[in-house]
Amino acid sequence: MNLKLLKYFTLTPNVNYTERWYFKSIDKEWDEEAQKIVNNDTIQGFNRVYDYNFGVSTSTKLYTFFRPSRAIFGDKVNAIRHVMTPNVSFSYRPDFGDPKYGYYDRLEYYDERNDRVVRQDYSLYENSLYGVPGRGESGSMGFSLGNSLEMKVKSDRDSTGFKKIALLESLNFSSSYNFLADEFNLSNINMSGRTKVAGTNISFGANFDPYALDTTTLASGVTSVTRVNKFELSENNRLARLQSANLSFGFGFGSDTFKKRREARNGTATESVEEEPELPDDDNPFSELSEEEDNPILSTNVSPLEEGDDGYAKFEIPWNVSFNYNMRLVPDQSDFNADKMAYKHKLTADISMTGRISLTKKWDMSLSTGYNLERSEISHTNLRINRNLHCWNMSFNMSPFGQYKSFFFSIAISSSMLRDLKYEKRSHPRDNPNWM
């Protein structure tokens, strides 16, 4: 639900409530002989386990326009627009570990091996199907800032018209502050963005930690690195510490790409709507086309194939393929720089490819694979073949490379009403090395 506030602000309240019904709970105790915690008893009975949270957020848009210098951009660029979207949100979640809710219990025992008294809390509904409410009270304020940059230029096709070009599709910053946390109230700062240059999609992101690291030398001589509740700004004179970063380049092309270029070159580009053939009712799996409609040999309503400029029938197979080059900068936990009080980073990269081809209207094939440049090996590869069998659908998935080689074969009714009527065959993990 969105509400207008002071004309320029959008107010969005939200309430989330989750109800779980369990018919048993557990009771734990300390086994003195085995020196470990064991399940003492399973208590049968009806138990309501619920949790909730609520909050409110508000956002607005700020626009900035400016005209660039004609000496640099020429006469084609009319204006550049910068759109900023600030957002502030507040949320609250009670501490469902409080004894009044009855979701958790405390176990107290004497640990002989370490000669100490241990107090440990555990959930009465541990390992239950729908989980348990989390512990700890939370009252946080989230804040984010979105940015986009567009340029308005004169159109080459229309001397009086303009077109918009996205210089920066998005550039977002976000973080939050938990007022009720005992320490580390400020969360990590996230940055993400994307744009498109010459048909190539570029996306990037980074994660920054505002808290500093400290070192402690143990009795064994090993240096331990821990995160402390002190800001990087006060300890190391920097706003935050880079945790990780990523950069991705992606582009794709297919049969439509070359078709549009060919039509544009020949000046025959037209917008046409292709009519879909009438199919049986998906909700009624027993509805069928007539014998003539289902059999192209008997059918008398077969439309002639479209002819090309050379007089021959056009033969087209829809296909598309896309490539992605991904780079990630991650901290090297084995290499700590004591001078900068930060972990050194290592660069990992991989190339991925996805492709799809429709051999006929009913046969469809897709492939996804990649190559890890750091380990010099082929990453997870998946081949999928799909066949439309009228009211049924057949699919075959195969992962032929890597540690987790597997296959999966399925024939199922297309109707959602009878989706459980199917035959499946899959490989077992223990057979992976020998199935192919």
Pick out the chain residues at pLDDT < 50.
271-303, 433, 435
CA–CA separation, 70 vs 34, rounded Å? 82
pLDDT digits (tens, 9 = 90+) for 318-355: 889 999 999 999 998 888 888 888 889 999 999 999 99
Sign of the CA dihedral running 131, 135, 141, 143: negative
- Cβ neighbours of residue 195 under 8 Å, at least 6 residues apart? 166, 167, 168, 169, 202
Of all residues in the chain, the percent with pLDDT exceeding 70 is 84
User: Which secondary-structure segment (H or E) carries 106?
Assistant: strand 104-111
pLDDT digits (tens, 9 = 90+) for 39-53: 778 889 999 999 999
CA–CA separation, 145 vs 172, rounded Å? 6
Q: What is the pLDDT of residue 75?
A: 74
Q: How far is CA 282 from CA 210, 360, 416, 419, in A?
A: 54, 21, 7, 11
* Average pLDDT over all residues of the chain: 83
Q: What is the pLDDT of residue 430?
A: 60
Q: What is the pLDDT of residue 278?
A: 44
Q: What is the DSSP string of 307-349?
A: B-TTSSBP----EEEEEEEEEEEEEEEEEEETTTTEEEEEEEE
Q: What is the pLDDT of residue 160?
A: 64
Q: What is the pLDDT of residue 193?
A: 95
Q: What is the pLDDT of residue 306?
A: 57
Q: What is the pLDDT of residue 301?
A: 46
Q: What is the pLDDT of residue 267?
A: 64
- Could you tell me which of 151, 106, 415, 173 has the C-alpha nearest to residue 287? 415
Contact 95, 136 (CB under 8 A): yes
Tell me whether strands 104-111 and 77-93 are parallel, antiparallel or unpaired.
Answer: unpaired
Residue with tokens 């992962």: 399
Q: What is the pLDDT of residue 311?
A: 56
- Cβ neighbours of residue 296 under 8 Å, at least 6 residues apart? 302
Tell me whether strands 3-5 and 104-111 are parallel, antiparallel or unpaired.
Answer: unpaired
**234: helix, strand or coil:** helix
Q: What is the DSSP string of 196-222?
A: EETTEEEEEEEEEE-EEEEEEE-TTSP
Q: What is the pLDDT of residue 94?
A: 94
